[in-house]
Structure 1
Amino acid sequence: MSLFVRFSNRWRRMSLATQFGLAGGVVLVVAAVIVGAIVTRRIEESVVRNSANATALYMESFLAPLSQQLAKSDHLSDTARRALEEVFTNTPLGERVVSYKIWKKGGRVVEASDPSQINKVFEVSQPLKDAWQGHVSAEFEELDGAEAVAESALGVPLLEIYSPIREVWTGDVIAVAEFYEAAPQLREDLIAARRLAWATVVGVMLTIGGALYLIVMRGSRTIETQRADLDAQFRDLRALSARNLELRMRVQEAAARSAASTEAALRRIGADLHDGPAQYLAFAALRLDDLREKLDQDDARAELDGVNDALKQAMTEVRFISQGLSLPDIAEISLCEVVGKAVDAHIGRTGHAVEVTCKCDDFPASTAVRICAYRLVQEGLNNASRHGGGSGLAVQCSGNSRRLELSVCDNGPGFGPDGVRMGLGLTGLRDRVESLGGSFQAVNRPTGGSRITMILETGDQ
């Protein structure tokens, strides 16, 4: 089993509150890192920019007058240089500003606190470009340019500021002053600001996460309680359903045994009729034939002929009843074969044509179901022949492994305008079908005639 599958299984077993705690914790940590980084970055930029603007404004107040000659020249006069040296030597400002440069276009240094840097040309950095656009730009402890090698070697936190020098009358940028301010206090302020920002972000995230977790935990407990109640109800319902299914199967088994017993009793009755009254009637008919030959009067012979005909009709009816009560051997054959035997018996007895459509061998038919199917086809065809003249007889059987539908149809007069009258035969069929857990229908067809139908379903439905 892969790691992902094991984690997925364990995840599904966790409560809703635990899932939210883990997922929400990851999201809140990522969000805190992103928000904290953005906030601290913006705070640092704001502090550095404000400090740079303040220093640049102060420096411009005395650098601008001394640097106006750079509008027409690329060098400062000796007087201006001495003035700059006096400003940055042995003064509080000189203690703060450890180095300075004055740039002209093209990256050339025209004045610097380090004379070795004068007239050198360096690559124009982005902050220097911004200064030439008239913006004060600054960097804190990012001394990575070739012109800042000496300053970075000092080992103190420095604020590198680029300030544009403008011509008094036109406002055009004529040079850029770069100076490095020692800023140990700024470093401490930034560290304190970072700590405060991170503490604020973490505190807010923890407060939000804790509040949401408490809400979700309360809802999770409610859900778990309801789930436990539903599981208990489901177990009770499943037990009740199993009990009902067991009772249903027991009832159907009892009905099947009763049907089998009834069929055995009918078979015995049929055999008794065939072996008893039918034989006596046949013997009486033979004796009447012998007696007829001994009579001379025509009237007596006519009376004997009438009695003989009645006996023969009674014998025929008894044989039909005996055959109808006795079922063929259907225990080991399919449903379609059972239907076929019932149809063949009816055709042999009446000579009426029957159209058969059968596709139901997938249904798991017990002996009781086979008996019920045989009796339905037998009774339905008999009623159709007796009351409908045997017109348009059809037997339709369809089903699958779960459902069986068996119908007998005819084109006769139907059950009449008053609806179905359940006689002894139909009532017996209905009882047979319902004892097996099925449903029975007897209706008039819309196109004329009648139809009787039984529908059975397996017990696992």
Structure 2
Amino acid sequence: HDGGLMIAVIAALYAVAAAGRLQAAVVLAALTVIATGAGTLLGNRDVNGVALFMLTGWLVAVVALGWVRHSRIAYLREAERRAAGEERLRIARELHDVVGHHLSLINVQAGTSLHRFHRDPAQGEAALAAIKASSREALRDLRATLGVLRQADEEAPTAPPPSLDGIGGLIGTARAAGLTVHGGVTGEADPPTEVGLAAYRIVQESLTNVSRHAVAAEVTVSVERGPGALLVEVADDGRGAAAPPAGPGSGVDGMRERARALGGELTAGPRPGGGFLVRARLPYGNEARKR
């Protein structure tokens, strides 16, 4: 006749433990055992010592199961929160690379156009045309990047992600901004998509930093598709630092994060003979290639 009461007590203990209130569940279980034991001592022969021992085991097991349930839910929530944070960082890095690069070039091209407009209208007109092309490219890349925030019922973007094939376009845009850029992509290997995207962003950010922070006339871009890794080098002859001051959102920090995410490494600093050098090694065989 008291089976229903015991089931209610066990369900309540499980619910309290599953809610994360372990101390309260232990206190309630202890009070249940003490009260039942007191009834046995007072003459209740329906619950003997063996039954009391078994009841204690059941209560401990129920509390443990409830706590395991709570811990599992907490772990899943933390994993979801961490994944969301990593996704936000990835989106922020993409926006920084895309928008920062194009706006920096537009700023340089606008200054060139204002400086040369009256003395050489032809060059001023060419700079305005480059500004138009850069702004159009910035809008296209921005829409593609923001596509990851689309609703579930929207169509996925059909434009492919930037790759090594787009580095020539980056070099051309930098030349239109007034820089003399040498080099390009060499080698016959076919790197994974993630490696090509990382190399594109590293070259893009490096050229952006040269335009914004370095007083440079010439830049050398070298992307070598080796047998097991992609080697990227961007060197300039500037007198200033081709990198923003260290701090949150720094482009160099973002490039290092990209390289580390692929199992590679990136160094950036002044060259012995003057100027600034960014060098990265991006291996092909890593976890990013399998995803």
- TM-score w.r.t. structure 1 length? 0.28
Rg (Cα) greater in structure: 1
User: Could you state the TM-score of these two structures normalised by the residue count of structure 2?
Assistant: 0.43
Higher relative contact order (CA 8 A, sep 6+): 2
